[in-house]
Amino acid sequence: MRSGYLTCSQAAVVLGVSPRTIRRYLAEGRIRGHRNPLNGRWFVARVVLRRLLDEAEVPGAEDLLSQIHGAWSAEHRIVRKVDEKDHG
């Protein structure tokens, strides 16, 4: 997924709730997200989370979002490399 989006698990870490809560918020329309039509997974735009954090006056919101995304990106790069070695 593009860097402007986070998974439900990542969004949950940012907001301090469970991934199930994020999915419930999405279903109830409390937050907006995008659903992947191929696998049904939800993604939440960073700007949506940033707005929520700003409204709640959470200090360091952008740093938190960047750290979460950076860790996720690094993890997926490692998984791809391992996968390439196994199947390459």
- pLDDT class of 65 with cuts at 50, 70, 90: low
Cβ distance 10 to 49 under 8 Å? Answer: no
What is the domain range of residue 63? 5-87
CATH number at residue 12: 1.10.1660
Q: Does position 72 have pLDDT exceeding 70, yes or no?
A: no
SS (H, E, C) the chain: CCCCEEEHHHHHHHHCCCHHHHHHHHHHCCCCCEECCCCCCEEEEHHHHHHHHHHCCCCCHHHHHHHHHHHHHHHHHHHHHHHHHHHC
Task: Report how many domains make up the chain.
Answer: 1
Q: Does position 73 have pLDDT exceeding 70, yes or no?
A: no
pTM: 0.64
